[in-house]
């Protein structure tokens, strides 16, 4: 994969991100190697997926790169990239090379990757801490461990050298958690294309169609609208398959009366959309399906309504859980006081997952959900999903749930916290039972 050219505004954004990291590094050094090339079998390469931290700071999207951020009085950013190689580029596409990467990223220095073993030990030698994610790159990790070993031998006499390794996420995760305007624009595009894909999927969904047919229509719409592809493995779960949270086989045929749960997102500019809708394959919900659906949609709406600066990510989940528990009591599935049932976690049999996860360059983006033992307050720029669900396993024997056995429903939107509330990035894809039935029938 070739790194595209950078508009001037994106260069400035990248430079500002690197400065924020350098400010937080102190006398440390951060080392970020590119993701390895993945193979499906033998020498068949999979589409390349860049390391998200490295991309966040440099915009580089080709294999082999290593970025080193050196803190301290002489703070600088040093890149190592593969050299140009006409024969290799004939097979795998053009490379930037050191000169191209230097021009593109505007780092302080850029060297051939072949010089990494010569130059990296010196860059690490003056650090007090090395920010590096262990287990990611054998060659780089050997140099990191070598720097620590050298410091153990010489440090007591010289008072210099790294004394520990810390995960880069201690710095980068916090930065990535709050999206800047360029990131929000990419996320909005990803959500718009995700919506287009879901509409295509709804049009392809009918009794007798294969789940794979719906998947193909959805992902074709992603590509046709300019996405690089799906942000994660698409879920098209019909009937009891909708009760499997991460069902991705998509190999069954949709039957009359089935619900079809579609969980899919487009990747645009390496940013992820993530939407779930649940449709009646025959065009209309049965009375039991509709009752469950309306509980889930009410929980989704309740969670969105509490999303604002100063609220906590836990309060979003609690709003959804409360509405789910109230609904389960109304359905006759649970009995007792709502408060007691929530304290007991009685809903977890039917709603076993959290309501939200952070969203961005990764579909499960980094960032702590709690700090100092307390749920994290929401801030403008945070983006996350709201995705309550109810799943009634087909083999449940309790008479109270007999009418709902085999029903699986999840409804998911993507939201961005604003200065006064939130922006529902996926609001153009409706959730009401009537609107979903209309999409299922193409009306």
| 159, 175, 191 - which closes a domain | 175
> Residue 386 sits in which domain range?
178-441
The pLDDT value recorded for residue 42 is 85
The pLDDT value recorded for residue 45 is 87
Q: Tokens at residue 304, please?
A: 């969105």
Instruction: Judge if 298 and 355 occupy the same domain.
Output: yes
Which of the following is catalytic: 43, 74, 256, 372? 43
pLDDT band at 3 (very low <50, low <70, confident <90, very high): low
Residue 181 falls in the annotated catalytic set:
no
Highest mean pLDDT among 44-48, 54-58, 159-163: 54-58
Question: CA 29 to CA 129: how far, in whole Å?
Answer: 7
pLDDT band at 161 (very low <50, low <70, confident <90, very high): confident
The pLDDT value recorded for residue 56 is 98
Instruction: Judge if 298 and 311 occupy the same domain.
Output: yes
Which of the following is catalytic: 154, 163, 249, 364? 364
pLDDT band at 43 (very low <50, low <70, confident <90, very high): confident
Question: CA 94 to CA 158: how far, in whole Å?
Answer: 45
Instruction: Judge if 343 and 233 occupy the same domain.
Output: yes
Which of the following is catalytic: 95, 317, 410, 414? 410
Q: Tokens at residue 284, please?
A: 């209309």
The pLDDT value recorded for residue 314 is 98
Which of the following is catalytic: 247, 293, 391, 404? 391
Which of the following is catalytic: 52, 206, 357, 365? 357
Residue 347 falls in the annotated catalytic set:
no
Residues ≥6 apart with Cβ < 8 Å to 13: 180, 182
Which of the following is catalytic: 62, 211, 412, 413? 412
CA nearest to 278, candidates 133, 409, 414, 90: 409
- Span 242-256, average pLDDT: 98
- CATH number at 110 reads 3.40.350.10
The pLDDT value recorded for residue 159 is 57
Residue 131 falls in the annotated catalytic set:
no
| 112, 141, 175 - which closes a domain | 175
Which of the following is catalytic: 73, 74, 246, 372? 246
Instruction: Judge if 100 and 141 occupy the same domain.
Output: yes
The pLDDT value recorded for residue 397 is 76
Question: CA 112 to CA 95: how far, in whole Å?
Answer: 12
The pLDDT value recorded for residue 250 is 98
Which of the following is catalytic: 297, 387, 413, 414? 387
Which of the following is catalytic: 274, 297, 365, 414? 274
Residue 297 falls in the annotated catalytic set:
no
Instruction: Judge if 251 and 390 occupy the same domain.
Output: yes
- Span 137-145, average pLDDT: 94
Residue 274 falls in the annotated catalytic set:
yes
Instruction: Judge if 160 and 248 occupy the same domain.
Output: no
| Separation in Å, CA 39 to CA 47, 82, 139, 233 | 9, 19, 19, 17
Per residue in 384-439, pLDDT tens? 999 999 999 998 878 789 899 999 999 999 999 999 999 999 999 999 999 999 99
Transcribe 311-340 into DSSP letters.
Answer: SBHHHHHHHHHHHHHHHHHHHTS--S-HHH
The pLDDT value recorded for residue 439 is 97
Residue 353 falls in the annotated catalytic set:
yes
- CATH number at 312 reads 3.90.230.10
- Span 118-122, average pLDDT: 95
Instruction: Judge if 259 and 170 occupy the same domain.
Output: no
Residue 293 falls in the annotated catalytic set:
no
pTM above 0.85, yes or no: yes
- Span 281-287, average pLDDT: 97
pLDDT band at 230 (very low <50, low <70, confident <90, very high): very high
Q: Total domain count for the chain?
A: 2
Residue 326 falls in the annotated catalytic set:
no
Portion of the chain with pLDDT greater than 70, in percent: 98
pLDDT band at 155 (very low <50, low <70, confident <90, very high): low
Instruction: Judge if 103 and 238 occupy the same domain.
Output: no
Per residue in 323-342, pLDDT tens? 999 999 999 999 999 999 99
């Amino acid at each position: 994969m070739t790194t595209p050219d950078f508009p001037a505004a994106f260069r400035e954004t990248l430079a500002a991100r690197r400065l924020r990291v350098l400010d937080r590094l102190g006398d440390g050094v951060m080392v970020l190697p590119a993701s390895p090339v993945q193979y499906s079998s033998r020498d068949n390469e999979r589409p390349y997926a860049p390391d998200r931290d490295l991309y966040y700071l440099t915009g580089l999207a080709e294999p082999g790169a290593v970025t080193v951020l050196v803190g301290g009085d002489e703070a600088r950013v040093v890149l190592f990239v593969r050299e140009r190689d006409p024969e290799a580029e004939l097979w795998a596409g053009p490379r930037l090379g050191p000169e191209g990467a230097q021009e593109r990223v505007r780092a302080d220095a850029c060297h051939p990757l072949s010089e990494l073993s010569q130059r990296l030990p010196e860059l690490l030698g003056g650090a007090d801490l090395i920010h590096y994610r262990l287990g990611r790159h054998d060659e780089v990790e050997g140099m990191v461990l070598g720097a620590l070993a050298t410091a153990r031998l010489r440090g007591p006499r010289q008072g210099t050298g790294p004394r520990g390794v810390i995960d880069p996420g201690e710095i980068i995760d916090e930065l990535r958690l709050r999206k800047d305007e360029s990131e929000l624009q990419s996320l909005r595009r990803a959500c718009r294309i995700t919506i287009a894909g879901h509409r295509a999927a709804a049009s392809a969904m009918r009794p007798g169609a294969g789940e794979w047919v719906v998947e193909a229509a959805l992902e074709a719409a992603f590509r046709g609208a300019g996405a690089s592809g799906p942000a994660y493995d698409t879920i098209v779960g019909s009937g009891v398959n909708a009760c499997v949270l991460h069902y991705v086989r998509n190999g069954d045929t949709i039957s009359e009366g089935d619900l079809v749960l579609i969980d899919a997102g487009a990747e645009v500019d390496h940013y992820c959309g993530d939407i779930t809708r649940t449709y009646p394959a025959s065009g209309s919900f049965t009375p039991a399906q509709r009752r469950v659906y309306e509980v889930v949609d009410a929980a989704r709406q309740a969670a969105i309504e509490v999303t604002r600066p100063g609220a906590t990510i836990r309060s979003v989940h609690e709003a959804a859980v409360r509405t789910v528990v109230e609904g389960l009591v109304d359905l006759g599935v649970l009995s007792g006081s709502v408060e007691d049932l929530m304290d007991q976690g009685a809903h977890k049999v039917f709603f076993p997952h959290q309501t939200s996860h952070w969203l961005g360059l990764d579909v499960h983006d980094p960032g702590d959900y709690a700090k100092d033992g307390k749920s994290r307050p929401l801030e403008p720029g945070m983006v996350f999903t709201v995705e309550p669900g109810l799943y009634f396993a087909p083999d449940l024997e309790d008479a109270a749930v007999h009418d709902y056995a085999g029903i699986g429903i999840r409804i998911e939107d993507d939201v961005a916290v604003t200065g006064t509330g939130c922006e529902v990035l996926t609001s153009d894809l409706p959730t009401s039972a009537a609107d979903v039935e209309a999409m299922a029938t193409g009306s």
